[in-house]
Structure 1
């Protein structure tokens, strides 16, 4: 699984890193620190990734299939 965070859509609600603390974190302005990034999600954090995507009111987080084997 891959997670992508759209920096243009992120409004800093903080819900994503609240429900996925092992996957996402916040920056000094309260936005998700991984904003603008796409990265593979380890198998054991797939649930948190789904929760983060579901929790985002701006739909700034999208999930997709990994192009390589998940770590």
Structure 2
């Protein structure tokens, strides 16, 4: 599974970063940056939690 971000929807809440800090980082511009390499070794449950808890629905899980 991988995760994509819709930068038009992302408002930088940082809940994804709090869930999986090795994968997600809210950059200086206020938008999330995804480390695909770290995501590949992250627990799928943590990625799904980040996607499901995004208040602006900016994250999407790709199977």
Task: Decide: shared fold, TM above 0.5.
Answer: yes
State the TM-score, normalized to the length of structure 1: 0.70
Instruction: Give 3-state SS (helix, strand or coil) of 2:45's partner.
Output: helix
> Structure 2: 5+ residue runs without aligned partners?
none
More strand by share: 2
Question: Offset at 1:33?
Answer: 2.3
Runs of 4+ in 1 over 2 A off after TM superposition: none
State the TM-score, normalized to the length of structure 2: 0.76
Aligned CA-pair RMSD: 2.1
Question: Offset at 1:44?
Answer: 3.7
> Structure 1: 5+ residue runs without aligned partners?
66-71
